[in-house]
């Protein structure tokens, strides 16, 4: 059966649902970058990991540009989100991942940088 293609107004690419199992987590690894997380999302992630918010923040977050970002780790000569599961090749906090992760690849930035999105995510096709 063909995979469903998710589209959004303003984007000239579509996302083929179901490809994430095959790609090895390219949106969670590679070039270093901020992985923004709100205080509310951090609280949810801390609860998911059965941690108190202070311990969670100390272990996994850092402050930048007046916001909170998830730490990264070295991975395959580059970087990965600290929550990237290297064995399973997926997100270890998937059910409580922050909005930035939930909304990938439909970010405003990619409206005008669609080649970057297409290079990063094998689930995308040009419309």
Of 73-102, binders to ligand SF4 (CB under 6 A) are 81, 83-84, 91, 93, 97, 101
Residue 35 makes contact with ligand SF4 by CB under 6 A: yes
Shortest CA distance to 103 belongs to which of 121, 83, 89?
121
Q: Which residues contact 90 (CB under 8 A, 6 or more apart)?
A: 20, 21, 25, 28, 84
Residue 28 makes contact with ligand SF4 by CB under 6 A: yes
Using CB under 6 A as the criterion, what x/- string covers residues 42-71 for binding ligand SF4? ----------------------------x-
DSSP-derived 3-state class of residue 97: coil
Residue 20 makes contact with ligand SF4 by CB under 6 A: no
Closest contact distance (angstroms) between CB of 41 and ligand SF4 is 9
In the 8-state DSSP scheme, what is residue 127?
-
Burial class (CB in 10 A: 0-12, 13-18, 19+), 110: buried
Q: How many residues bind ligand SF4 (CB under 6 A)?
A: 10
Interface residues toward ligand SF4, by CB under 6 A: 28, 35, 70, 81, 83-84, 91, 93, 97, 101
């Amino acid at each position: 059966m063909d995979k469903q293609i998710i589209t959004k107004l303003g984007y000239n690419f579509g996302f083929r649902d179901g490809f994430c199992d095959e790609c090895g987590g390219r949106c969670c690894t590679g070039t270093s970058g901020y992985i923004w997380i709100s205080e509310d999302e951090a609280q949810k992630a801390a609860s998911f990991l059965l941690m108190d918010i202070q311990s969670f923040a100390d272990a996994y977050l850092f402050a930048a540009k007046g916001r909170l970002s998830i730490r990264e780790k070295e991975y395959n000569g580059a970087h990965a989100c600290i929550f990237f599961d290297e064995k399973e090749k997926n997100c270890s906090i998937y059910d409580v991942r922050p909005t930035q992760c939930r909304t990938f690849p439909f970010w405003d930035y990619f409206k005008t940088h669609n080649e970057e999105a297409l290079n990063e995510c094998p689930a995308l096709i040009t419309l």
